[in-house]
């Protein structure tokens, strides 16, 4: 069932997918289901929902991002969404998958090895404390992590000038974008662009907020998380 849902869904999204990639996604699902029995990795369960609400939803980013030959960081990656899905669908991508919880990174490391993925570094840490990652990436992604006014200070400092931050959001992110506008400009971001897409096989409409990095982030940012959360830019 999962293979049919994925094949039809990616076709609807206009994203090319190989038989080998479909096999990898199904294997990733089995690993996730097994580990989820003993560790809370996802509230989305069952083949159909995982196929649509994890794999197709994450894969939809490829409608708006060309990741071939690019470097990317996935911030607050959890069980590997969207980062590991994007890596499966775009094997050329060089990925750092960053999460603050070691147990999630341990799962991702197991998955990377089991799926035979090359060029992935699952990394336990906080984005705002990862000075070595500053302005290193063509693309930074984040899904279901925080309000955009907080998220931009965590993620934009990691993006190269000329790169892009892609924040996955719900159907109507305009209020979040407006609240984050001052901070985006202060951190070196350009004018945000909102793209909406329907998740195939569901009634869900999700969006991605795309922010190009047009200037270097000032050295004063990012601040410590307590300060970011208490007083977003």
- Fold category of 67-230 in CATH: Rossmann fold (3.40.50)
> Contact, 194 vs 152, CB < 8 A?
no
User: How is 113-134 classified by DSSP, letter by letter?
Assistant: HHHT--SEEEEES-GGG-GGGT
Interval 159-173: pLDDT, tens: 999 999 999 999 999
pLDDT at position 223 over 90: yes
pLDDT at position 45 over 80: no
- Find the mean pLDDT for residues 35-42: 79
DSSP annotation of 96 reads: E
pLDDT at position 42 over 90: no
Q: With CA atoms as reference, report the closest residue to 114 among 211, 35, 6, 178.
A: 35
Question: What pLDDT is recorded for position 183?
Answer: 96
- Find the mean pLDDT for residues 135-152: 94
Question: What pLDDT is recorded for position 1?
Answer: 87
Interval 51-96: pLDDT, tens: 999 999 999 999 999 999 999 999 999 999 999 999 999 999 999 9
Q: With CA atoms as reference, report the closest residue to 169 among 182, 152, 185.
A: 152
Question: What pLDDT is recorded for position 124?
Answer: 96
pTM: 0.95
SS3 182: helix
Interval 97-117: pLDDT, tens: 999 999 999 999 999 999 999
Helices 148-155 and 174-186 meet at what angle, rounded to 10?
Answer: 40
Helices (H), 60-194: 83-89, 102-115, 148-155, 174-186
pLDDT at position 12 over 80: yes
- Computed over every residue of the chain, the mean pLDDT equals 95
Determine what percent of the chain is predicted with pLDDT higher than 70. 100
Q: Given strand 193-198, what is the order of strands in its sheet? A: 120-124, 94-99, 71-75, 137-143, 159-169, 205-212, 193-198
Determine what percent of the chain is predicted with pLDDT higher than 90. 90
């Amino acid at each position: 069932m999962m293979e049919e849902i994925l094949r039809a869904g990616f076709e609807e999204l206009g994203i090319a997918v190989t038989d080998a990639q479909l096999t990898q996604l199904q294997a990733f699902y089995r690993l996730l289901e097994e580990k989820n029995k003993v560790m809370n990795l996802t509230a989305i369960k069952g083949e159909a929902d995982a196929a649509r609400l994890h794999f197709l939803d994450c894969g939809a980013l490829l409608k708006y991002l060309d990741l071939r030959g690019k470097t990317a960081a996935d911030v607050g990656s959890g069980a590997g969404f969207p980062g590991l899905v994007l890596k499966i669908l775009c094997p050329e991508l060089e990925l750092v998958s960053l999460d603050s919880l070691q147990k999630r990174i341990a799962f991702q490391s197991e998955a990377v090895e089991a799926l035979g993925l090359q060029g992935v570094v699952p990394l336990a840490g906080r984005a705002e404390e990862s000075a070595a990652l500053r302005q290193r990436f063509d693309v930074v992604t984040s899904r279901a992590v925080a309000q955009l006014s907080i998220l931009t200070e965590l993620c934009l400092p990691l993006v190269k000038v000329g790169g892009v931050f892609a924040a996955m959001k719900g159907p109507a992110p305009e209020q979040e974008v407006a609240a984050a506008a001052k901070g985006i400009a202060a951190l070196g971001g350009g004018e945000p662009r909102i793209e909406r897409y329907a998740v195939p096989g569901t009634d869900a409409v999700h969006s991605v907020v795309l922010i190009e990095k047009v200037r270097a982030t000032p050295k004063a940012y990012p601040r410590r998380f307590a300060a970011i959360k208490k007083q977003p830019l």
